[in-house]
Structure 1
Amino acid sequence: MASHHSVSPVGSYDEKSDLEPESSTTVSRSRHSWFRSVFFQATVVGMCAFLSPGIWNSSAGGGQEPYLVNAANSLVFGLMVFTCLLAGTITNKISYRWAVVLGTAGYAPYAAGLYLNKTRGTVWLVLFGSACCGLSAGLFWGVEDPEARKRGRYLAYWLAFRNGGQLLGGIISLALNTHASGTGSVGTSTYVCRALSAVFDKLTRLKWQLVFIALQAFAPVLGVLVSNPAQVRRPDNTKVEMENNAGFVTEMKEMWSIIKRREVLFLIPISLYAQWSSSYAGTFLSLYFSVRSRALAAFLVAVLGVIVNGLLGAFLDNTSVRMKVRSRASYIFIMSVLGGVWIWFTVLQVRYDGTEPKYDWTDGGAWAAGFVLYLVFYSCYYVRPRSFSSPSSFSLCSPRSLQLLQNELYWLISQLARQPTEVIRLSSFLRALESAGSACAFGVSASKHLPKTVPVGINFGLWAVSTLTAWGTVREIGVAVGPEV
């Protein structure tokens, strides 16, 4: 699959092949074949991300209260802890192509469950879909290997697809909910996609509420286009070397040898933190802001995500700046902004407690104080925001738009890998920690009577611990760890 991180899938393309070793003629052809290029593989995986975790945000929903879906998300991420840890072993057994296929297969059942919960009050399919997504998504996020000199740009390229799906959903839902100044969940017309059905109304009687679900179901089919790694060549004609035929026991031993390294241990707190905050921030927006404000937030976060990640990717790949300067400057900037964000979240939460305000964009400064804070948070943080559709709709498995913190974090682990197979193990371990953080956070948020100041305090504490411990690794990048450039 390709790349990022859990890392975003943008550039890995390793799949076992029964083909004979390639002749020089085959290699030459491969070098000139667009279908076998790294860019094409990244594009295919990016399109899968657009159709699955990306477009998921267009149809996410549920009831008016967050507690069912918070519990469902806790289940999803709890399962992902295990699937992410085992992603490398499973991928090596079934091949990278089928890892992409299976990794995108769990989104449609979850989206279908949310739709039926919205229209018929069905609960079981939400939980079943959550289990499917938790079991499959860990594979989708488990491998990557972009060229070292293009890591930042490949992350940004892949993210553009991911945010493209969210952007589409944001545009449609904002258009359909412009007059929804009240609170609650988005109208069912968001699922029905009335804006589109009006155009094709006389041509077909398809139920447009199923269109987005069908698009997500198409992602596994598209994943079949990912090429065997033995057939893929980078522009400089180098191979994508990711093959690892180690058995389960050997794989676990190798994983342990990586985990106990000091520079990896320092990243454990920030990996847990990397998704923990999403449950609080999404609930904050859903409880205190109108439907159309949440629709606007979904749209703006998608736009900002593409911009800020493109800028960060360009900076991280800028070899005219020494690597240690790039890693330190970007890290200090991101964590400083997040520290300011949590100070302001604390102030607003204390102010909102007891009054339970419901802000709309017609409320001026009072609305902007929390709304702009939310945008800044998700621009510097990790996951896509909860959908505006309801307090409960968090874009699952995705994880999520990779904003600055996530982009930075996966760039860091890519520098820690001493060989290609370590990228898979490191990203799998990191993703497992992120999933564990999400599972715990959503479990806490599933409590209806818990004071909102409690998750704020937990998040503030995690930010402080993460900032200090991760610095132990960041300061070694370009000095003792990674290339000194």
Structure 2
Amino acid sequence: MASPQVLERTPSSLDDEKLHTSGSVSPEPFEDRKYSVFRSPFVQVNIVGACAFLSPGLWNSMNTLGAGGGQSPFLANAANSIVFGLMVLTCLLGSSITDRIGYRWALCLGAVGYAPYAGGLVLNKNSGASWLVYLGSVTCGLSAGLFWSVEGAIALGYPEPEKRGFYLAVWLAWRNAGQILGGAITLGLNAQGSGVGSISSVTYYVFIALQAVAPVVAILLSNPHQVTRKSRQPLQMTNHIGFFAEMREMGRLLARSEVLWLVPVSFMAQYTSPYINSWFSLYFTVRARALGAFVNACFGVLINFALGAFLDSNRLSKKIRARISFCFIMACLGGVWIWATVLQLEFIDDPPKLDWSDGTRFGRGLAMYLLFYSTYYAIQNQLYWSLSQLARHPTELLRLSSFLRGMESAGSAVGYGISAAKQLLFTVPLGINFGLWGVAFSTALMTIWRIGTSINYGVKK
């Protein structure tokens, strides 16, 4: 926790740009530094977005096809449980590692593990061997946790605070664009057949080639002290206090009540997707899954820009924006689980293989899938924006991002672990989803309801 002197003069929100002038950096704007378009927040966030497009974006594309694009979801679910289990550790260590090696190399190192994972899936498809799936899961888990923690901090910390919603949408749009491209490629290569099974090997080869480019793109990133805003305000997002001191600060952050109240909703944000991906894999044909992955990514771009515009709007107060957006998203998610329960009970008695030629039944299933992912994208955007309001200093943005991604990774690890059990009825994870939704909704309100108010989590302004 910051010193008492900092707490007395520092609000919990970073809207006050004076926060960027604390510490060892000169409080005067960098008037003598020439503004660089390349080092501007716009270009830098787009570099991070391009890396997100090539790495987690294409990874997500495979998983939104169901089971990593495979015929059976169980091997991919077991592998993903390993991925996210390791990511819990690397996400929570993300701030310490990044403080040591810098944002550029942290992003580069975080991007190297995705291609081996895709290589394992195609090897399993062609030969039945599973060793590279598990090895790729380890490399992906160790690197992706670092990528997840640093990308969010850049998207939150590099732009001006009043533009944060827009830049979050830009970053997430890049990530969704990976799914759009992946879905388009998969749809083009698999559209002729209406059968079930795995996507073609050529699809995987394209994914591997694109993911291998991501570390090269990451080298273009500028570290925070190199970024130039038009306002000439310097960024102080690193403090180089050492590994153990950084871990102590991370521990103090995680002990704050406003952060702890967000643990269930952060866990839930990723826990629910394994069920939907497995459900999609088992009940839809390959080309129907490709179509669904493509359309849902397009929806995600539109939803995130709409939500970003709302969160940046000055027509309503910050506290009203926070409450309306969060409650609306969670109410929609509750409706998704009611709809999913109705369909799941129907499919247990009569398991379908839905294709786009199946009319109304296909439309009902696809609509539920699309509505789920619409809320999935929106809740991630909402959580990042909400966490940015809790930071008492710019250096906390990386810690908060690492916290969020660590909790999301834990949710995914548990969700994929449960979904990997072949004998488990799908009504079991559905019931857990309902219970977790209720807990997450009620606890998160304890934090959401105080954003934009006169009391900043125990520190009166």
> Structure 1, residues 349-404: CA drift from partner, whole Å, max 9, x if none?
111113212222222111111110110000111xxxxxxxxxxxxxxxxxxxxx10
> Structure 1, residues 198-254: CA drift from partner, whole Å, max 9, x if none?
xxxxxxxxxxx3x43122111111111112322211121111111121223322222
Q: Distance in 2 between matches of 1:217 and 1:165?
A: 14
Contact map agreement 2:81 2:415 (CA 8 A) in 1: yes
Shift of 1:92: 0.7
Matched, 1:34 2:29: no
Of the three residues 85, 91, 98, the one matched with 1:91 is 98
Shift of 1:420: 0.8
Q: Distance in 1 between matches of 2:253 and 2:59?
A: 34
Q: Distance in 1 between matches of 2:338 and 2:29?
A: 61
Q: What SS class does the counterpart of residue 326 from structure 1 fall into?
A: helix
Matched, 1:367 2:341: no
Of the three residues 160, 165, 169, the one matched with 1:156 is 169
What's the TM-score once normalised by structure 1's chain length?
0.84
Shift of 1:40: 1.6
Moved more, 458-467 or 49-58: 49-58
Moved more, 140-149 or 57-66: 57-66
Matched, 1:442 2:437: no
Would the alpha carbon gap of residues 304 and 477 (structure 1) be closer, same or farther in structure 2, given more than 3 Å must change? same
Partner of residue 50, structure 1: 53
- For residues 446-461 of structure 1, the aligned pairs below 5 Å read 446-461=420-435
Matched, 1:111 2:118: yes
Of the three residues 396, 403, 416, the one matched with 2:390 is 416
Amino acid at match of 1:54: G
Would the alpha carbon gap of residues 25 and 450 (structure 1) be closer, same or farther in structure 2, given more than 3 Å must change? closer
Identity %: 56
Shift of 1:118: 1.6
How many aligned residue pairs are there? 424
Q: What SS class does the counterpart of residue 183 from structure 1 fall into?
A: coil
Would the alpha carbon gap of residues 246 and 277 (structure 1) be closer, same or farther in structure 2, given more than 3 Å must change? same
Would the alpha carbon gap of residues 25 and 316 (structure 1) be closer, same or farther in structure 2, given more than 3 Å must change? closer
- For residues 45-444 of structure 1, the aligned pairs below 5 Å read 45-57=48-60, 61=68, 63-143=70-150, 144=153, 145=157, 146-191=159-204, 209=205, 211-381=206-376, 403-444=377-418
Shift of 1:283: 0.9
- For residues 442-481 of structure 1, the aligned pairs below 5 Å read 442-479=416-453, 480-481=455-456
Amino acid at match of 1:55: L
Kindly indicate which of the two structures has a greater share of residues assigned to helix: 2
Q: Which runs of 5 or more residues in structure 2 are unaligned?
A: 1-19
Amino acid at match of 2:397: V
Contact map agreement 2:30 2:232 (CA 8 A) in 1: no
Partner of residue 5, structure 2: none
Q: Distance in 1 between matches of 2:400 and 2:77?
A: 28
Shift of 1:167: 0.8
What's the TM-score once normalised by structure 2's chain length?
0.88
Q: Distance in 1 between matches of 2:211 and 2:188?
A: 22
Would the alpha carbon gap of residues 113 and 149 (structure 1) be closer, same or farther in structure 2, given more than 3 Å must change? same
Q: Distance in 2 between matches of 1:267 and 1:238?
A: 31
Contact map agreement 1:36 1:232 (CA 8 A) in 2: yes
- What is the aligned-residue RMSD (CA, Å)? 2.1
> Structure 1, residues 137-186: CA drift from partner, whole Å, max 9, x if none?
11112131132111110011111211112111111211222232222212
